[in-house]
A = this chain, B = another copy of it.
């Protein structure tokens, strides 16, 4: 290991220091298409990308311009990358107080032609209605939502294709193994709404099957039926509403069914 010096004697020139530290954000949303009245929604998982402008605010040519990229920006020494991500989201899209999770660091030499730039990647879960006011900004000419299928056809800036792939892996795992699904749902939801969220990332037969899932939801320790609360937004038949409750979910591949 290399030696460390004290604060006073610390000599930065002995080590090369990074040329930048950025925070990138994979903003996920689930779009609900109400195909017709009194029916469960068709849900699709989408990722928000920005198209990089030709020039920045000062008229200088922008690197990787024209390509689609994850939103993000430089982190300052007074904040964590997660705080920076939160700030960026608020500044750019007016979205505050949403679920953010760090999932990876990208530091492959040469990943950014501008120099040694370390990217700390997060994913965000934004309910669809909060994306309404999205807009282009300084160095983005366009902002758009892409489904997973559409993503693979796009040319993406830097190593964002890798980052997005990892983001998808992480959100899929988290949706199925934790209770983050609630971030996509209203406070109270029907079994078919939860089912639709999960089906955006899995094709598990037990989740696809309506009757099985309607039965299962009642025995999940981290979800409770809200007594007397019904809705007709997914069916003509008034339907039971559920909510997530705080309950520890621990699981092991050595004890589960296979």
A residues whose Cβ falls under 8 Å from a Cβ of B: 1-7, 9-10, 12, 15-21, 52, 56-58, 60-63, 71-81, 88, 91-92, 102, 104-105, 107-109, 113-116, 118, 120, 137-140, 176-179, 198, 202, 204, 206-207, 213, 216, 219-222, 249-258
Q: Contact between B249 and A253 (Cβ–Cβ < 8 Å)?
A: yes
Chain B residues closer than 8 Å to A253, beta-carbon distance: 176-179, 220, 222, 249, 251
**Contact flag A73-B252 (CB < 8 Å), given A63-B7, A80-B107, A80-B108:** no
Q: Which residues of B contact A104 (CB under 8 A)?
A: 102
Inside 8 A of A138's CB, which chain B residues have their CB?
Answer: 1-3
A222–B258 alpha-carbon span in the complex (Å): 10
CB distance from A26 to the nearest CB of B (A): 15
- Check A2–B74 contact: CB distance below 8 A: yes
Question: Which residue of chain B has the shortest Cβ distance to A181 in the bound complex?
Answer: B254
Q: What is the chain B residue whose CB lies nearest that of A76?
A: B16
Query: Shortest CB–CB separation between residue A176 and chain B, in angstroms?
Result: 4
> Separation in Å of the A56 CB from the closest CB of chain B?
4
CA distance in complex: A14, B56 (Å): 14
Query: Are B255's CB and A216's CB within 8 A?
Result: yes
**How many Å lie between the Cα of A16 and that of B17 in the bound state?**
11
Q: Is the CB of A107 within 8 A of B92?
A: no
Count of identical protomers in the assembly: 2
With the chains together, A16 CA to B116 CA distance in Å?
Answer: 14
Whether B252 lies near A177 (C-beta < 8 A) is: yes
Knowing that A4-B63, A17-B21 are A-B contacts, what are 20 other residue pairs whose CB atoms are under 8 Å apart, sorted by A's residue number? Answer: A3-B56, A3-B139, A5-B114, A6-B60, A6-B62, A7-B114, A9-B60, A9-B61, A18-B21, A21-B107, A80-B109, A81-B107, A102-B104, A107-B120, A176-B250, A176-B253, A198-B252, A216-B255, A251-B251, A251-B256
Contact B254 A256 (CB under 8 A): no
Q: Which residues of B contact A206 (CB under 8 A)?
A: 254-255
Measured CB to CB, the nearest residue on chain B to A106 is B80
For A116, the chain B residues whose CB sits under 8 A away are 77
Shortest beta-carbon distance, A139 to chain B, in Å? 5
Q: Which 6 A-B pairs have the closest CB atoms?
A: A3-B56, A176-B252, A77-B116, A1-B73, A206-B255, A15-B74
